[in-house]
Structure 1
Amino acid sequence: MNLESPNVKNNRGSRSKQSVPEADRFIQEYTERADIINSIYQLNEREHYHVFLSRLKERRKEGKRMAEYLNIEGNETWLLFQRDVNQFYLYNPADHQLLNELLKDLNSRPVVKAEINRQSSQLVLILTLDDGGKGVFKPMRMARDAETSDDLYYFSEMERHTSEIAAFHLDKVLGFYRAPPTIGRILNITRDIQQVGEDTLTNTVYRSPVGNVCFYGKCKNFCDPAFAVCGQPDRIQGSISAFLPSRSLHSASANLHHPWSRSYNMKLKQGWETNEEYCETSVKGQSEFKGRRLLDFMDTSVFDFLIGNMDRHNVEFFSQFGADTFLLHYDHGRGFGKSKYDCMSCLAPVRQCCLIRLSTLAKLIKLYNGPDSLSHVLQESLKADPLAPILWERHLEALDRRVGQIIKVISDCITRKRKLWQEVIVDDGVI
């Protein structure tokens, strides 16, 4: 969906100059509601976003940690990270030192072993570092300004390392804290892959006609010499994400099929793609969507819409915490591919269920109103990455445009579908 509007948006910092009239009217109603005035969700037009987010964090619930990790000894950052995984967030947003040290180790510690991730359909490596920690490495396959062709199906897209990095930062600035810490890293193919890699990987290393060191690995898609990753002459950049602790205990399920997943078939459509009542008939009322879970799916829908990710087929969670825990946000290599296209189907969960978490909506409204836009706060966060700049300017512009579209979908639920405010916008205490 490409948007054209004569309405000019004036809030400072926004790269999008387009105002969404439905969003503007909805926000006016939001600011005048008695249950918003004098609450933590009240808007102050002069208050910067990071201050607003800090106020919300004060209400964040403290959850338990995984018992089986509490007694593990060691002070390596990856161990401290895994021990600190909480029922309500993947990492503690208040512990800036641990997060920064973990990212630094992922970026700089020597690689002692390189393996192919056989669970991935594309070329992904598992790197073991000298302190015993592991990281998931995705090499650079696409330039930052390379757009995905409109004629290409989502399941044929090549993954982008920049999307993984940007998605982690976006998850963080939105206050979700559900995405694995991720940072850019430079690898030396000779030292970090050829000399320490498993045979299946090192057997694919070769020199190009101009003398650059290349490899192509082994996987289902794009793993042959025609799609080789080549260094300059042997240096490559990519993203590396922290390895997560086990998502299950005693064989408890830690994986859910996404109810709005796609068919991965050019000729087949899923039920939700042809039935706007899908949420009411096939999702609401199901036991696996009780408690906070359905609202978490709405958060994931918002997140995927912002980055343009159509490749969400399964979701995982830490079953050690039971049902009252968050859904992980991970595997975002197919985001940020189309800056001019807004994937409205990614918002199908929110549109069909007419549901959003109040804290999520409040953040979006704050970013829409300013003074800080989403593109601004995300770009500021991304400056810390050693491979910056991470996102092409056009993708930053798209983020600001998409914020207004999410708010419009919520507005339509109330004004067009005649849903009650409290049915659509739910405060479940999750920040």
Structure 2
Amino acid sequence: MKIMVKKCRFFFFILSLLSVITISLHYYLSNLAKSAVVTSSAQSKYEEIILQHLSELGPEYYKRKSKKVFFNNSFFDVVHFDGTHDLKHIWNYANSAIAKSRLYKRDNLSLIIHAMKTAKITKADYYTKGTQFKLNLTLEGDQSVVFKPRWYKLDRIFNGAVYSGRDRFQAEILSFYLSALLDKPMVPISVERTILFDEILQVATPIVHQTTVQKNSTLCLYGHCLYCVKNDPICPENGKLQGAVIFNMNDIQLKRYASPWKRVYNKNQKAKWEQDDNYCESVKKKVTKRLLHEMVDIAIFDFLLQNGDRHTYELYHQEIVWLDNGKGLGNPYTHHIDILAPLYQCCSYRPDLINRLKELSGGALTENLKKILELRQLITEEHFNALENRLLLIFATLEYCKYKTKIKH
């Protein structure tokens, strides 16, 4: 009798487990069904196959695999400067932590974050690299940071091309924490900061003052860049500018190269990678396997964020530095699978990042990101859901690669 009871309990346990898995599958797939996978005519055959593999994903991709703590206290410690913290020392420590395979150490990270958020601004100039409005702020202690302002409401949705619109400052901040979560600390430290407009003007260079303009009785800045125009300035709200403050790596030299998977930015033209089924073979002849894997890693990262504007890459000690992530978070309801072209065309990758992604399945990805107060305040629930949906599409692409490799052999 006892054996029968145990068997019944075990039977009902299995039924309950299957029910939970079924509900989870339904939840993820129903969410994904509400989203649109954006295809191009050139890449649609890959995307159709990946979607087929998505529909056939096994339950192992939906289950929580790990209870591991990914963010340590260095991300959460509350810091109060009490006069014992020497800003010069903090900046020296932050710059000395930059090395091969990392742009920061987790030790004392909260101290650096707090300093970036609160240190007095001693100079304000324009940051002229790139094509969009950016300020180069010097903080007390002689540390340079790049300031990308907020142009849009946090829930603004962009339709059309994946690179539509100006940079979204919150994408830079999410990129920093996401890279840390993926154990790829190759995004510069990026934090939210709200700055008094007068605080900028008081220490601004002549060129900044020369680019002020009145709009609706408010003094604004129109910038000094390729796409900066006088009739479309950035204006403070209630005398303040909100944006992302990005640690500027003062002393390191980066080598810039054109991405093999760059877009042509013309809807009537296609890049070679969008037309050639064997494109990856030509890339393999030009780059090392290590660099190819670097490009696959950053493609996966960009796909999660939907940053389809990676037209160049920059190397530091043969590692790609994950810079300029502001074009992410454009539309939580669309997924441009062609961002994953380096992965599905080459089907060659390092296991480290893939294993970390698997550890973050079953909701662990966004659960961990939501532990960061700043992200809960800046990232909408729709974008968090989109991250989970795109993770499943990455897993489907890996399944396609397994199938492709099996067919070849």
- TM-score of the pair, normalised by structure 2: 0.79
Count of residue pairs brought into register by the alignment: 359
Structure 1 residues 246, 285: CA separation in 2 closer, same or farther (over 3 Å shift)?
A: farther
Partner of 1:119: 129
User: Which position in structure 1 is the counterpart of 2:344?
Assistant: 351
| Cα distance between partner residues in 2 of 1:393 and 1:16 | 16
For structure 1, which segment, 116-125 or 211-220, has the greater mean C-alpha deviation from structure 2 after superposition? 211-220
Partner residue, 2:246: 241
| Residue aligning to 2:406 | 418
- Contact 1:308-1:342 at 8 Å conserved across structures: yes
How far apart, in 1, do the equivalents of 2:54 and 2:350 lie?
17
Residues 405-426 of structure 1: CA deviation (Å, up to 9, x unaligned): 0011110122245268xx9xxx
> Which amino acid is the alignment partner of residue 172 of structure 1?
A
Provide the identity percentage.
Answer: 25
Structure 1 letter corresponding to 2:98: V
Report if aligned partners of 1:128, 1:134 keep a CA contact under 8 Å in 2: yes
Aligned equivalent of 2:47:
none
Query: Partners in 2 of 1:245 and 1:85 — Cα distance?
Result: 10
> Given the alignment of the two structures, is residue 76 of structure 1 paired with residue 89 of structure 2, yes or no?
yes
> Please, which moves more after superposition, 175-184 or 8-17?
8-17
AA of the residue aligned to 1:84: A
1:264 Cα offset (Å) = 2.6
Q: CA deviation at 1:276?
A: 2.2
**Partner secondary structure for residue 418 of structure 1:** helix
Q: Distance between the aligned counterparts of 2:263 and 2:52, measured in 1?
A: 31
**Map 1:213-224 → 2, pairs under 5 A:** 213-224=219-230
Q: Distance in 2 between matches of 1:13 and 1:341?
A: 18
Instruction: Give, in whole Å, the separation in 2 of the partners of 1:149 and 1:80.
Output: 42
Over 3 Å counting, the alpha-carbon distance change for 1:74 and 1:396 in structure 2 is closer
Kept in 1, the 8 Å contact 2:87–2:141? The answer is: no
Deviation at 1:375, TM superposition (A): 1.8
Task: Name the structure 2 match of 1:191.
Answer: 199
Quick check: 1:126–1:136 contact (8 Å CA) kept in 2?
A: yes
Q: Which amino acid aligns with 1:365?
A: K
Task: Select the structure that is richer in helix.
Answer: 2
| Selected match of 2:208 from 201, 204, 216 | 201
- Give the counterpart of 1:10 among 5, 24, 33: 24
1:241-284 per-position Cα deviation (integer Å, ceiling 9, x unaligned):
00114443xxxx7222211111133332211011121102x111
TM-score when scaled to structure 1? 0.75
Counterpart position of 2:364: 373
CA distance in 2, matches of 1:376, 1:331: 25
The separation in 2 between residues aligned to 1:373 and 1:13, in whole angstroms, is 15
Aligned to 2:10: none
Alignment CA distance shift 1:13-1:90 (3 Å): farther
CA contact (8 A) 1:183 1:240 kept: yes
Q: Residue 360 of structure 1 corresponds to which residue in structure 2?
A: 353
Q: 1:409 aligns with which of 389, 397, 400?
A: 397
2:310 pairs, out of 298, 309, 312, with 312
Could you give the per-residue CA deviations for residues 117-145 of structure 1, whole angstroms, max 9, x where no partner exists?
Answer: 11221101100011100101001101111
Q: Distance in 2 between matches of 1:202 and 1:11?
A: 56
Aligned pairs for 1:3-152 within 5 A: 10=24, 17=31, 22=53, 47-50=66-69, 75-93=88-106, 95=107, 97=108, 99-150=109-160
In 2: Cα distance, 1:164 partner to 1:354 partner? 28
Q: CA deviation at 1:110?
A: 1.0
Match of 2:42 in 1: none
Q: Are the structure 2 counterparts of residues 176 and 187 from structure 1 closer, same or farther at C-alpha, using a change threshold of 3 Å? A: same
Which residue in the other structure is 2:11 paired with?
none
Aligned to 2:284: 284
Is contact 1:114-1:126 (8 Å) kept?
A: yes
- CA drift of 1:223 comes to 3.1
Structure 2: distance between partners of 1:74 and 1:337: 36
Alignment partners' CA distance in 1, 2:225 and 2:53: 46
Distance in 1, matches of 2:213 and 2:103, equals 39
Give distance in 2, aligned partners of 1:26 and 1:358: 19
| In 2: Cα distance, 1:341 partner to 1:23 partner | 16
Which protein has the larger Cα radius of gyration, Structure 1 or Structure 2?
2
State the match for 2:257 in structure 1: 256
Whole-angstrom distance in 2 between the partners of 1:77 and 1:175: 23
RMSD of aligned alpha carbons: 3.0
Structure 1 residues 306 and 9 mapped into 2: Cα distance closer, same or farther (>3 Å)? farther
* Mean CA deviation greater in 16-25 or 302-311: 16-25
Q: What is the deviation of 1:75? A: 5.0
Q: Given the superposition, is the C-alpha separation of residues 9 and 408 from structure 1 closer, same or farther in structure 2, using an over 3 Å criterion?
A: farther
Q: Which moved more, 1:259-268 or 1:16-25?
A: 16-25
